[in-house]
Amino acid sequence: MSEKNVWSTLKGINVEEKKMVEKKNNLSYISWAKAWSALCDKYPDATMEKHCNEQGFPYFKDENGWCFTKVTVTVGGKSITEMLPVLNYANKPIQNPNSFEVNTSLQRCLAKAIALHGMGVQIYSGEDLPDEGASNAPTKQSAGTQDQKSDIELFDVTIKNPEGAEETVKSSHIKDVAQKFVGLLRLCKTSDSVMKFWKQNMDEGYVVHKMTAEDEELLEKCREKFKARRDTLLNEEKSNG
């Protein structure tokens, strides 16, 4: 098979129509699992490699301590290697990442390496998603312009505190609401109240539901904070008999 045929075949896959595109924090991502599955359906001999450092860990550090991952995808005899910085839940480069952050970076790096073979490459080039039914194509904007626009969009999220009082927070970033949510953990005085606080914010329109829909990494970080607070209170309860 020729490189041109591989590129044309993969670029012709409508990633939006196949529901391969996910949105988090107003940014678009291609699901690595769906991308890899679609690639192997077309080219079963495709391979991928997650590169490791000298210690055997799947990430690297530059001279300033910033971390990045590296993945190679081979299709039809052509290998393409992509590198991606390890980011936190706010999409900022980080140092000393945990295993979850490294794994997330590897997955995103894999999806981007696949895209460089053609599949969904428009997601990363700032082009509009394919829309065969549209009669008038929307005006193209650079990724930077789109990000600036999304930054000023506000949304409402409700938090019900441990005492049962509700507050609607208006914000442009779910992480700001999450920080306020975690800060209210100080009002939880028993291990049971911690879990009750979490569960009463799971309904639609509330903070846990919003994080579940938009940022799974942030949701996991908040869940860890809640578990830590619950365990602390549980140990105190055991000590007090």
Residues 57, 168 share a domain:
no
Residues 31, 97 share a domain:
yes
Beta carbons of 221 and 181 less than 8 angstroms apart:
no
Residues 193, 116 share a domain:
no
Residues 21, 110 share a domain:
yes
Residues 45, 110 share a domain:
yes
Per-residue tens of pLDDT for the chain, all 241 residues: 566 688 899 989 888 888 888 876 667 778 899 999 999 999 999 999 999 999 999 999 988 889 999 999 999 889 999 999 998 877 788 888 899 899 999 999 999 999 999 998 887 754 334 444 333 334 344 344 344 333 345 678 889 998 888 888 777 778 888 888 888 888 999 999 999 999 999 998 899 998 888 888 888 999 999 999 999 999 988 888 6
Residues 171, 111 share a domain:
no
Residues 159, 91 share a domain:
no
End position of a domain, from candidates 81, 109, 127: 127
- The answer to the question of residue 227 being in a domain is yes
pTM for the full model? 0.53
Which DSSP string corresponds to 55-104? TS-S-EE-TTS-EEEEEEEEETTEEEEEEEE-B-TTS-B-SS--HHHHHH
Residues 121, 59 share a domain:
yes
Residues 169, 99 share a domain:
no
- The answer to the question of residue 147 being in a domain is no
Residues 9, 63 share a domain:
yes
- The answer to the question of residue 141 being in a domain is no
Burial track 171-202 (b if 16+ CB lie within 10 A, e otherwise): bebbbebbeebbebbeebeebebbeebbebbe
- CATH code assigned at 29: 3.30.390.80
Burial track 150-159 (b if 16+ CB lie within 10 A, e otherwise): eeeeeeebbb
List, for residues 42-92, the tens digit of each pLDDT value. Answer: 999 999 999 999 999 999 998 888 999 999 999 988 999 999 999 887 778
User: Phi and psi (nearest 5°) for 3?
Assistant: -60, -35
Parent domain of 201: 155-239
Structural domain count, the chain? 2
Residues 98, 169 share a domain:
no
